[in-house]
Structure 1
């Protein structure tokens, strides 16, 4: 779909198709020479570039807090609340009118969808197959999802992605060089739904079996990890394709997304080093994905493998895949149903002429997108505590910052965009990294192979238990603590992980204390 974006659509980095195709034919990386094509960006002057380089340079003094690091989200930062609503606050710099849009978007984010037809025509169209009945059901309190915690718990904030190798790889690679071309499973589509409307079978039941693993640590400590094995049990529509690749995903936290979107692509690409030319063992690769809105390749930013380029497209795909709600980007009234699921595709949907023939129209989609873009990042806590300062130095000395890049300055945007020209501290380079076989899902996505994942932003990670009531981390929630999450790192992070295992216990405790302050 190729159309002019709605006024609420954020400014994003667009990669030019002709340059990408030419780059595929050259020896340089496929993103070399690609510039931003933005809507309302004020170009940086040379003097401004120098100021930004100075303020984002990696500090060397660890004896005191760094300037502005307490305000992780720049001017969007809000006071860290000690309640479950800590991630649900509007950005601090919204105008009065923008806060009204935020509140309306929040209402739509929380809306419980029902099956069609219904008297509540603005809320009907659920399914027929779905993972949740609202955005809020997966992202409870805008926080992190979790795997089922027992036989009586559902997987409402977790599902399995599915794909197969694409039949025409060369055609797809003409547009995005180096992509691992995939296609939906012919029966089950791109993700498995474990709920359904009456009269329709759910697609599967998520079964997880864990194996406990002991990891000896320095000082006589032993950490316990759990290795998951996933089964798509009780398949409702016959077998999966023989080449089906499955990947478990929990819902990520929602804060700071608009700020991540406003990071200049050149600042992300500057850290890319796919061949490890500097010899540090870190070889970050940018994800490049196709944008259905802009009808061209773009830098991927959102999702565990950076499979979506914009918050708008992340939102639209979640409406279609998770809830079964049609929208101007994903137009099928039956959501994720495939042609093989004939009863599902033939079912009544909630498409409404007043909403442009969709179950949620462009205005509604933009409002939910705006809400998602402007959820505030809470302020750091205890930035001057001695153990936090020591843990920050351990973080840098260990090499964690090689992937978890501390800070950026966002684009200067025209108008009153709240993400404009902010010094932010997400602790992510937004690139793909090989995390080793232990975390591998063996499912390719775009330019990410089966062992690569986008570096997860760390801001707010220390408030997970406050907001979500648990401490499950990584893409599938297997880690039950921050230490377990660190110990699962391998591949490019193997050296850093081994350093954590071998360091004095007090340094390891300080490292975790620093992460808890983020």
Structure 2
């Protein structure tokens, strides 16, 4: 309890995830009876011979039917009332639309860039699933980009251990390899892979591909010598609203910054400026927990990925720096007196937020398969659930029936963990160090090939399958990684079958 109380003064208000109109989620407090009942529901299973009650419905009542197509991640919450489905469809139209540079005759779709990484949200989140790494030099890095920063910056007074960095002075915080006509793109990302052999306990050899990142064809001069490059592949979109609705207290209860319980796991909460007022909030979204809410994440993507102005990021030139003067002087899509005068108006941002909040999690497959059940037991026995927390009950919400009071199974604690030097990008972000990453949710991971057409995992897609993803774990997860290496083939296959069933 003490470690939770040390974090709480940094946070503002009773609920920190933002809803529509930049307001906190409208939470109804739990009764003592509900707290007791929920504790029983969330307890770890003692019997692995059969699935748990409701385990096949990872999104609770919001779970959607499994579809055998690439559209499996593109369904609205299974419990969405009919009168809210139009908002989902309108948000989908905005999420899938292709934006164009200004000036253009399509005034509702102009304002792209002038520097950008993608022309639309779904260019990166393919079919609402994962992006992919470029297949080679001939393919541009759509759905993958580099974050940029250099040491320095200011420490917010409210957050004493904020790791100070600032955007790279010439190229900003995000490297952009596309540009509007007449403006030079910043350059291109270069990836070089080295194969690293790993011998498993039974003698099986697995090859990991270790990436090295660089930039080439720089259009605006050299980057700072101390620049830090951090790659990002777009993550899948399902279940975001349910993650947003997990009670803050349930997340903070697992914080153990000094490893007081001696289990080797030291989860830390990401605390970030959130909403329009920039107050410290619990970071739940992004690979390092850099965004507090779906709305913050959506607005950040409009600005950084597409150079589109919103109420949270009103500059029409997006990530262009003062050095990139042609970008800043280019005609924008802002129209004074029309649509809030912004390229993405307030209502459009609300609709995209609603859409992202309500992409449904598909049902589990093979939940009672003996091999899957054995894999689940191994997953528990070797300690994977120390970070990949299996289940929660979401807050009871007054105005979000889809996310309200649902038993969900995301397999994440939403905390920062040191994953060791192998996965380190050496780039701090907020409270996250250069080797810390937020535990990603695992639901839907077994459907990646069906939806996205590949099986590339981790923040930069270096892992070509789930076993490679596990073998990249280090730091706080070193013991679990080593346990997987030592497993007999039957148990190793079983744990992979379990992951594929999620």
**Displacement of 1:416 after TM fit?**
4.4
Question: Which residue pairs with 1:67 in the alignment?
Answer: 53
Which residue of 449, 455, 463 corresponds with 1:471? 455
Question: Which residue pairs with 2:14 in the alignment?
Answer: 36
**Displacement of 1:243 after TM fit?**
2.4
Question: Which residue pairs with 2:100 in the alignment?
Answer: 114
CA distance in structure 1 between the partners assigned to 2:400 and 2:59 by the alignment: 16
Partner SS for 2:235: coil
CA distance in structure 1 between the partners assigned to 2:27 and 2:136 by the alignment: 49
Indicate yes or no: 2:149 matched with 1:163. yes
Task: Give the alignment's TM-score, normalised by structure 2.
Answer: 0.96
Q: Deviations over 1:275-325 (max 9, x none)?
A: 100000000000000114243100000000010000001000000110111
Which residue of 281, 300, 305 corresponds with 2:283? 300
Kept in 2, the 8 Å contact 1:36–1:266? The answer is: no
For structure 2, which runs of at least 5 residues remain unmatched after alignment? 16-23
Which residue of 311, 315, 333 corresponds with 1:350? 333
CA distance in structure 2 between the partners assigned to 1:475 and 1:39 by the alignment: 28
**Displacement of 1:219 after TM fit?**
2.1
For structure 1, which runs of at least 5 residues remain unmatched after alignment? 1-22
Kept in 1, the 8 Å contact 2:178–2:185? The answer is: yes
Question: Which residue pairs with 1:366 in the alignment?
Answer: 350
Indicate yes or no: 2:34 matched with 1:48. yes
Kept in 1, the 8 Å contact 2:150–2:165? The answer is: yes
Question: Which residue pairs with 1:18 in the alignment?
Answer: none
Which residue of 399, 404, 415 corresponds with 1:415? 399
Kept in 1, the 8 Å contact 2:4–2:252? The answer is: no
CA distance in structure 1 between the partners assigned to 2:9 and 2:56 by the alignment: 35
Bigger shift: residues 309-318 or 40-49: 40-49
CA distance in structure 2 between the partners assigned to 1:90 and 1:40 by the alignment: 21
Indicate yes or no: 2:412 matched with 1:428. yes
Report the RMSD for the aligned CA atoms in angstroms.
Answer: 1.5
Q: Deviations over 1:219-278 (max 9, x none)?
A: 221111000000011111111123221100000000000000000110000001011000
Kept in 1, the 8 Å contact 2:10–2:159? The answer is: no
Question: Which residue pairs with 2:194 in the alignment?
Answer: 211
**Displacement of 1:355 after TM fit?**
1.1
CA distance in structure 2 between the partners assigned to 1:223 and 1:271 by the alignment: 33
Task: Give the alignment's TM-score, normalised by structure 1.
Answer: 0.93
CA distance in structure 1 between the partners assigned to 2:25 and 2:284 by the alignment: 18
Question: Which residue pairs with 2:268 in the alignment?
Answer: 285
Q: Deviations over 1:189-234 (max 9, x none)?
A: 1110010111111112110000001100122211110000000111
CA distance in structure 2 between the partners assigned to 1:290 and 1:164 by the alignment: 20
Partner SS for 1:49: helix
CA distance in structure 1 between the partners assigned to 2:101 and 2:4 by the alignment: 53
Q: Which runs of 4+ in 1 moved over 6 A?
A: none
CA distance in structure 2 between the partners assigned to 1:400 and 1:461 by the alignment: 15
CA distance in structure 1 between the partners assigned to 2:101 and 2:9 by the alignment: 48
Question: Which residue pairs with 1:11 in the alignment?
Answer: none
**Displacement of 1:79 after TM fit?**
1.1
Question: Which residue pairs with 2:318 in the alignment?
Answer: 335
**Displacement of 1:32 after TM fit?**
5.8
Q: Deviations over 1:398-427 (max 9, x none)?
A: 111100000000000113431100000000
CA distance in structure 2 between the partners assigned to 1:124 and 1:465 by the alignment: 33
Question: Which residue pairs with 2:163 in the alignment?
Answer: 180
